[in-house]
Amino acid sequence: AAPGTIRGDLGRDWGEKVQKNLVHGSDSVESATRELGIWFS
């Protein structure tokens, strides 16, 4: 991601195919409710 963006500034490249995120946003209340159970289980 480009410098100056949230992912570019706060994401970390651990040398894997998937970049790990420090920040996440949901697109709806329903998604947030479901994702809270995933993130904090």
Which residues belong to the active site? 24
CB within 8 Å of 27: residues ≥ 6 apart: none
Long-range contacts of 34-40 (CB under 8 A, 24+ apart): none
Q: 16 in helix, strand or coil?
A: coil
